[in-house]
Amino acid sequence: MVISLLICIAAVVLEVCTLLLLSRRSLWRAYPFLLAYVIWLVVGNSAILVSFISYLRMAPEVRAHSLYPSLYWHSDTLDVVLRFLLVWEIFHQTFPKGSGLNRSLSKGLGITAFLLLVFAGATFWGYQNYTSLRSVHLALDRSFDFVQAVMILGTLVMARYYGVRFGRNVRGVALAFGGWVSISTVNSAMVDLTNSFLPYWYYLRPLSFLVMMVAWIWALWVYEPNPPILESGTAELNQWTEDWNRTVSAARTIIRP
């Protein structure tokens, strides 16, 4: 319990530090969706911390009536959804609106994201036989964490393929977030395979979250946005667009023969 309390306190402190960094020099104007997600983290985890402290002060026989377990799992479920703000921020910063690559890739990424969400929803639906709140959340977390990890990886791979350069801010946030959701996905899967892994999940996932927050603080310590995309010419860009549209058309043919 003491270790869990220390982790909760450290998480809130790191989140407040990240929020202060975003507020410094109006950095929040450059990363509005990241700001919204960090504000949610501060509010949500502060509420969890207060309820956890109240939970620890309760007598063991009345802890079953505490709001802490329900608040923890429901807020974490909401967090799964709000993380898509961060996914969009990373894509938007990597391929800014109005750029040729954004016009070429956004439609294809949207179709891919939709298919992944359908897959995640179908996977989650298969776990509705679970009766406990914890089990339902683990199924939801595993399914949608996988989608977010794939979307982040896809954005980074496309950026690498097209030679898009990253600044310190987006690179640090993207790599740390991608690493954390990947660990979370594996963790949830391991818990589902064997309950003996559950005690490790309670510590491995939040500790990896602390590592992510430290990486975010490092990334945001200095304002270094992505350099402007240098499009080498209309002909090359049109070739990119044509290749991508051909890939999307092939995917549609496979889905709807």
- Residue 117 contacts residue 147 (beta carbons within 8 Å): yes
Q: How many whole angstroms separate alpha carbon 180 and alpha carbon 63?
A: 31
SS (H, E, C) 131-148: CCHHHHHHHHHHHHHHHH
At 114, which CATH number? 1.20.1070
Averaged pLDDT score across all residues of the chain? 78
Structural domain total, the chain: 1
Q: How many whole angstroms separate alpha carbon 95 and alpha carbon 111?
A: 17
Query: Encoding tokens for residue 133?
Result: 């709140």
What residue type is 142 in one-letter code? Answer: R
pLDDT at 239 over 80: no
Q: Supply the pTM of this predicted model.
A: 0.81
What residue type is 22 in one-letter code? Answer: L
State mean pLDDT over 3-29: 90
Determine the structural domain holding residue 183 and report its residue range. 2-255
pLDDT for residue 186: 81
Higher pLDDT pick, 238 / 228: 228
pLDDT at 7 over 60: yes
114 Cβ neighbours under 8 A, 6+ residues apart: none
Q: What is the largest CA-CA distance in the chain?
A: 72
DSSP class of residue 167?
-
Nearest to 146 by CA among 176, 179, 174, 120: 120
pLDDT in tens, 118-134: 655 555 554 544 445 45
- Residue 81 contacts residue 48 (beta carbons within 8 Å): no
